[in-house]
Structure 1
Amino acid sequence: MSKNELKKNLGLVPALAIVVGMVIGSGVFFKPTAVFNATGAPGLGIMAWILGGIITIAGGLTAAEVSAAIPRTGGMIAYLEETYGNMWSYLLGWAQTVIYFPANIAALSIIFGTQAASLLGMSDSAIVIIAIIVTIFLIIMNSLGSKTGGAIQTAATICKLIPLFAIIIIGFIKGNGGVVRLFPIVAQNHPITTSLGSALVATMFAYDGWINVGAISGEMKNPGKDLPKAIVGGLSLVMAVYLLINVAYLFVLPASSLAATKTPAAAVANIIFGQAGGKIITVGILISIFGTINGYIMTGMRVPYAMAIENKLPGSKWLSKLTPNSKVPVNSGILLGIISIIFIFSGKFDQLTDLLIFVIWIFYVMTFFAVFVLRKKRPELERPYKVPFYPVVPIIAIVGGLYIIFNTLFTQPLNAGLGLIGTLIGLPVYISRKNKFKKIDDNED
């Protein structure tokens, strides 16, 4: 095995755990507040979760065809390079390296620090310290090998589902509101189009993260067979969990109460489990976020590595190095950690997440559209999996993605602008280095 060759030792279960683990993070605990606040009615809120799940699964079914046909380390970077050329893939890789993955890791670490400080009775000054510690710890763990990172992901995913299912089961049993809390469908003074649109954007953040499993396809034993199963199976499980837990919430508390609290899961737990319920759910949240941070680190550190092995980044020779035994891009992980820690010092969760959503969805839509382009441009390409109900499913994914883009552009122009500026900074870097692109020699020191 050469110095720059990744070990192919990941199967379906770790890949499935990465999809579920990266999607089920903070959104399931925090986004019900935004959803029901936007809709003002339980029925429309549930519809937003269903519609968000449909768009996401349509996107997963669509992207899975591209992922299986181009099972290369780097995920979307490889897809866009094959479809649209070097510039677009470079801009995506740049945005993922300096914005998307570090901002997600930082934002989730800040939430982890906030929840941990609250549970332990510590002051707010400890939040940043805890956030930095958990980031460094998980980077070290993932530097030990993909099996270690995959094991952490699998364990965290199983553990995070326990409190979720506890709320679902006990909520249905003890909830005294019953089905009456699922009505009305539409609230007065809440126009259905704008209300549903705002709620949908909130749910899409909760569903985000699934596509990043493609970044580890180069380390999967059978990506053509297992990658589509991991994406579609994982998203189906996530959607079912989201729907069930939101219905369970409504069985215990009305939509107005859920909209008024920042921690709907803890509020429900306090009712059905007693005072200890809040602490139980806080532990569950910590485990959930811990697993999500691990997933973003595990997949994120492969992105600068994939660019570095082609000499696309400043310092590519250093970034392309793998650990001798575990064959992990540890230096790329160090870079990711440094940028994440810089973001952590901002302490602003909402801004960190909002500025990246607009940008990443542009590339999501381009990935969905790549199915049409590649079928015409590369009909001979081996496709172990093809998206069902073509072209209806890809069109659903594209239309849903375009809605997210334009909604963010008009409702959050500042964050959209910041995301675009950060991405476009990569353009002069690309221009200055495009003549230097090459495969890093395995024998280089």
Structure 2
Amino acid sequence: MENKIELKRSMGIWSGLAMVIGTVIGSGIFFKQAGVLQTAGSSTAGLLAWIVGGVITLAAGLTIAEVGARLPKTGGLYSYIEELYGPAAGFLAGWMQVVVYAPAVIASIAGYAAFLTANFLGLSQSSATWISVIFVVFVAGINMLENRVPAAFQVATTSIKLVPIAVLIVYGLFFGKVDALGQTVHQVATTGGGFGMAILATLFAYDGWILLSNIAGELKNPRRDLPRSIVGGLLIVVLAYVGVTFGVYHALPSDKIVALQNNATFAVVRAAFGDFGGRALSLAIIISMLGTLNGKVLSFPRMAYAMSLDGLFPKYLSKLTRKTQEPVNAIITVTLMTVLLDIFYTKGVDRLSDIAIFTIWIFYTAAFFGVFILRRQVKKGLLAEQDTLFKTPLFPITPLVAIFGALFVLGSTIINDFAGAALSIVLVLIGLPVFYYYKKKRV
């Protein structure tokens, strides 16, 4: 009887949109303004970097939307890569995300939210670790309930995080007195890369939208809702990021933004609402990051669940509770790995997640090529075509833009952080013996 319990298809388009928006918009939009501007060298180039990053991300989303519509399975990137390139490649895509990236990125987000919370409450920074653990356990607890609960939490936190974004856009547009374009930054970043590295920084701020595909099996109509949520959510994110950037540039001189660094957006809000505004923004960012945390905890265990169903991870990870129909064992396992990382690996969690991002972009690139493979299969009659299926517009230009963006990320990382790129590949290849172990067990 237990093997008949399946994930509940109860999430609609609003949950999907909230998942995309809430998972992407964390703290980057509030804290990356100065870094991107300083690297780009001028306000015009800085704004253009956010726009180009948004165009590449939209191209990626439109490409994956077709892949996801053709392969609407729980597991996301793992399922896509497995279907396109075989079990070994699929396992490595899932292995990296579940074992390395998931606990690292969840711990990183929770840690930063805890740091802000300690500051907000006037607590010592030594308490941040335990606040981080509380956040992770709290969000995990929400995700052990029926999936409508974390979906509702996602919608609520996403709605709240859009408020300070709207404030920054409106205040900057209508009350800012600085020329947003044409300002030159005198203190340009010395790390090199210029405009290209500025685009790279925005691409990392845009990352996370693909995690919606991990819960495709819980969408009411994944062939329809998955592409609509990805494309619609990314359009809102791009408009929000570009709007906030223009608003901040219109409210503060470029050199002041660079001088303020992480406090630039706080300065804009304080100018509008005083110290109360600054504290309100801090609270909104904390809530924003809890929403991002929820999106990660909601999605990553689904990948572990899907891999367990395929016999590639321990069987207990594929167990669903009869009452809530949730992969509680997978959620507990990912949570436990995160908490242990949070407590005992106090330095370098951000570094670990940055290294893992390089590898994820390798699999992104492979998934983007997948749209060509799937269309070729349709042409050969190996895959059924559907009239109502979402198709990537402006094909093949759109997927080529996505592939170019992915290759740019990979090339830039190799040039600027060869050791990190090499380490990430080693972490992936460690998964091969694990894959062959489980493959042998299935025979």
TM-score, length-normalised on structure 1? 0.94
> How many Å separate the matches in 1 of 2:353 and 2:195?
21
5 Å matches for 1:210-289?
210-260=209-259, 261-289=261-289
5 Å matches for 1:134-213?
134-177=135-178, 180-184=179-183, 194-213=193-212
* Aligned residue number for residue 351 of structure 2: 351
CA apart distance, 1:309 = 1.1
Aligned: 1:62 with 2:67: no
> How many Å separate the matches in 2 of 1:208 and 1:187?
29
1:40 and 1:256 in contact (8 A); partners too: no
Of 299-308 and 379-388, more deviation after overlay is shown by 379-388
Q: Which residue type is aligned with residue 45 of structure 2?
A: L
Find the partner of 1:417 among 411, 419, 422.
422
> How many Å separate the matches in 1 of 2:217 and 2:417?
36
Q: Deviations over 1:381-428 (max 9, x none)?
A: 335111111111000000110000110111012322332222211111
Q: 1:204 to 1:183 in 2, by over 3 A?
A: same
Q: 1:413 to 1:219 in 2, by over 3 A?
A: same
Q: Deviations over 1:312-363 (max 9, x none)?
A: 11xx221111111111001001111112123323334531332122111001
Q: Deviations over 1:62-92 (max 9, x none)?
A: 0000000000000111111111000110001
Q: 1:122 to 1:187 in 2, by over 3 A?
A: closer
Q: Deviations over 1:137-170 (max 9, x none)?
A: 1111100021111000000000110111112112
Aligned: 1:390 with 2:390: no
- Unaligned stretches of 5+ residues in structure 2: none
Q: Deviations over 1:289-314 (max 9, x none)?
A: 0100000000111011000112211x
* Aligned residue number for residue 365 of structure 2: 365
Q: Deviations over 1:30-55 (max 9, x none)?
A: 11122012012111000000000000
Tell me the matched-pair count: 434
* Aligned residue number for residue 294 of structure 1: 294
Of 345-354 and 317-326, more deviation after overlay is shown by 345-354
2:392 and 2:398 in contact (8 A); partners too: yes
Q: Give me the identity figure in percent.
A: 39
CA apart distance, 1:190 = 7.9
> How many Å separate the matches in 1 of 2:323 and 2:280?
39
Q: Which residue type is aligned with residue 428 of structure 1?
A: P
1:171 and 1:249 in contact (8 A); partners too: yes
Find the partner of 1:330 among 322, 328, 331.
328
2:22 and 2:158 in contact (8 A); partners too: yes
Q: Which residue type is aligned with residue 364 of structure 2?
A: Y
Secondary structure of 1:262's counterpart equals: helix
Q: 1:189 to 1:268 in 2, by over 3 A?
A: closer
- Unaligned stretches of 5+ residues in structure 1: 439-445
> How many Å separate the matches in 2 of 1:27 and 1:295?
16
Secondary structure of 1:181's counterpart equals: coil
* Aligned residue number for residue 88 of structure 1: 89
> How many Å separate the matches in 2 of 1:424 and 1:254?
47
* Aligned residue number for residue 443 of structure 1: none
Q: Which residue type is aligned with residue 110 of structure 2?
A: S
